[in-house]
Amino acid sequence: MTEYDVVVVGAGPAGSTVASLLADRDLSVLLLDKDVFPRWKPCGGGLTIKTLNRYPYIKEIVDSYTYGGCVYSPSLKQYVSKTMEEPLIAMVSRSRFDDYLVRRAVEKGVIFQDNSKVLDIVVSSENVKIFLDNGEMYNSSLVIGADGFSSIVARKTKLLDSRRNVGICIVKETSISKEVLDEFYTEKRIAYIYPGLEGITGYTWVFPKRDMLNIGLIHYHRGENTSNYNLKKILVDLIYKLKEKKLLPLEVDDSDLKGGAVPVYPLDKTYSNRVILCGDAAGLINPLTGEGIYYAMASAENAADTVSEAFKKDDFSESSLSIYETRWKKDFGEDIGTIIPSSKIWRRDYEKLVEIVKRDPILTELLLQLITSQVSIKSIKGKILRRYLIASIFK
């Protein structure tokens, strides 16, 4: 079969989710990905609790839950920590998680083709033609780009020219016994954050899972010169410092580091004639933490509703598909817009910030809730600012 109602490019959480939802509505869907599945993606693998609440079926693939967090100052001399009764975030293995979502889509009737790199996309008034590197070509009424930061769909359809604002990440995941992880991070799997190391605009994380440890770094490049930052060296130096201080298991080394990039801001436009962009391809991400799975799956849901209506009207024009952007902005756009100014927190003096925050346990808890997306920034921004001001005045 070379003709489908919809071709989805990219089989991450956005692509698999929108493909599943469209198959539920009796549309023929081809899901393409350039990689061979299962595949691992550079990512911390944290799922917010609101993601689980909105998509409860993914609870069966959760690897572990994190019940607390600890934030260290760049000197590693000060820290603030908090443990909760309820989980702050859920952890998954991205290779298992993404593969699970793909298999779920296939069970619903989606045709999945991995190891299939898209070379070109040609949109006409009649259809969309998708050309692959193996010489194959597919026709569809509509194409959905869920193919990440460097989206070929966005580039070929002129929705993306270049990104000046990016998050550059380096990640390593190591298999470690549950007993060792219990010893270092307790059964509550406490997560550790190290912001502003060596002056970077971002943070390093250590995320313990059931029998794996994920350590990584993200640096937000917002148009400024970052050539002075050797991000790999910063992460490697931290690994050995933490091992010396017995804050990291000896099994973790500096081999097999993987790099990647994420967007920081949404694209100016996330649709055009016969085209919709979801998730990272559209720039939909939490600009404070870099978390994108919630926005990937939510934008996929918004896209499925829009595409379903387009087929009922037999109208795939830009005007018809514009409701997609209206939908995602109503769904979570306000949160992203409110978070963007707050993402400047990564430029702070962290020695001073940690010193101030540790004075107020309630402030610590509010910041944990914000970072883990348990509450909207709009609802607690005022409380955080007031408590931070009081804590900075009274020692």
Q: Indicate the number of domains in the chain.
A: 3
CB of 266 closer than 8 Å to CB of 244: no
Amino acid identity, residue 94?
R
* 194 domain residue, yes or no: yes
Domain containing 193 — which CATH number? 3.30.9.10
**β strands within the chain, DSSP E:** 3-9, 29-32, 46-48, 64-66, 68-72, 79-83, 89-91, 111-113, 118-123, 128-132, 137-145, 165-175, 191-195, 202-208, 212-222, 258-263, 271-272, 275-277
Place 355 in a pLDDT band, splitting at 50, 70 and 90.
confident
pLDDT digits (tens, 9 = 90+) for 247-272: 999 999 999 999 999 998 899 999 99
Residue 164: predicted pLDDT: 67
Between CA 344 and CA 342 the distance in angstroms is 5
Q: Which of 341-345, 355-359, 371-375 has the lowest mean pLDDT?
A: 341-345
CB of 188 closer than 8 Å to CB of 66: yes
Give the domain-ending residue among 238, 263, 288.
263
Judgement on whether residues 322 and 303 belong to the same structural domain of the protein: yes
- pLDDT at residue 315 is higher than 60: yes
Residue 161: predicted pLDDT: 78
Judgement on whether residues 336 and 279 belong to the same structural domain of the protein: yes
Amino acid identity, residue 225?
N
pLDDT digits (tens, 9 = 90+) for 156-188: 999 987 776 889 999 999 999 999 999 999 999
Give the domain-ending residue among 324, 342, 360.
342
Q: Which of 21, 28, 97, 9 is nearest to 303 (CA)?
A: 21
Between CA 16 and CA 13 the distance in angstroms is 5
Look up residue 266 and give its two tokens. 């949404």
Give the domain-ending residue among 263, 281, 315.
263
Judgement on whether residues 327 and 194 belong to the same structural domain of the protein: no
* Residues 6+ away with beta carbon under 8 Å from 282: 145, 154, 266, 267, 270, 299, 328
Q: Which of 243, 178, 167 is nearest to 206 (CA)?
A: 243
* 23 domain residue, yes or no: yes
Neighbours of 77 (CB within 10 A): 10
Residue 251: predicted pLDDT: 94
Residue 390: predicted pLDDT: 78
Model pTM score: 0.92
Once rounded to an integer, what is the mean pLDDT over residues 185-199?
Answer: 94
Judgement on whether residues 187 and 243 belong to the same structural domain of the protein: yes
Between CA 277 and CA 147 the distance in angstroms is 9
CB of 346 closer than 8 Å to CB of 202: yes
Residue 334: predicted pLDDT: 87
Residue 344: predicted pLDDT: 60
* 16 domain residue, yes or no: yes
Judgement on whether residues 72 and 123 belong to the same structural domain of the protein: no
Domain containing 287 — which CATH number? 3.50.50.60
pLDDT > 70: what percent of the chain?
Answer: 95
Residue 333: predicted pLDDT: 92
- Cα first-last separation, the chain: 70
Judgement on whether residues 283 and 382 belong to the same structural domain of the protein: no
Judgement on whether residues 324 and 310 belong to the same structural domain of the protein: yes
Question: Residue with structure tokens 């087929």?
Answer: 311
pLDDT digits (tens, 9 = 90+) for 11-26: 999 999 999 999 999 9
Residue 345: predicted pLDDT: 58
Give the Å distances, CA to CA, from 378 to 60, 358, 390: 31, 23, 20
Judgement on whether residues 220 and 324 belong to the same structural domain of the protein: no
Judgement on whether residues 138 and 283 belong to the same structural domain of the protein: yes
pLDDT digits (tens, 9 = 90+) for 270-311: 999 999 999 999 999 988 888 999 999 999 999 999 999 999
Residue 330: φ, ψ to 5°:
-70, -35
Judgement on whether residues 171 and 257 belong to the same structural domain of the protein: yes
Domain of 182 in residue numbering reads as: 67-86+164-263
* 139 domain residue, yes or no: yes
Strands 68-72 and 191-195, sheet pairing: parallel
Judgement on whether residues 147 and 172 belong to the same structural domain of the protein: no
Judgement on whether residues 290 and 381 belong to the same structural domain of the protein: no
pLDDT digits (tens, 9 = 90+) for 98-107: 999 999 999 9
Strands 275-277 and 137-145, sheet pairing: parallel
Q: Which of 4-13, 33-42, 158-167 has the lowest mean pLDDT?
A: 158-167
Between CA 57 and CA 20 the distance in angstroms is 13
Question: Residue with structure tokens 């997560």?
Answer: 191
CB of 29 closer than 8 Å to CB of 330: no
Between CA 293 and CA 48 the distance in angstroms is 9
Residue 381: predicted pLDDT: 75
* 259 domain residue, yes or no: yes
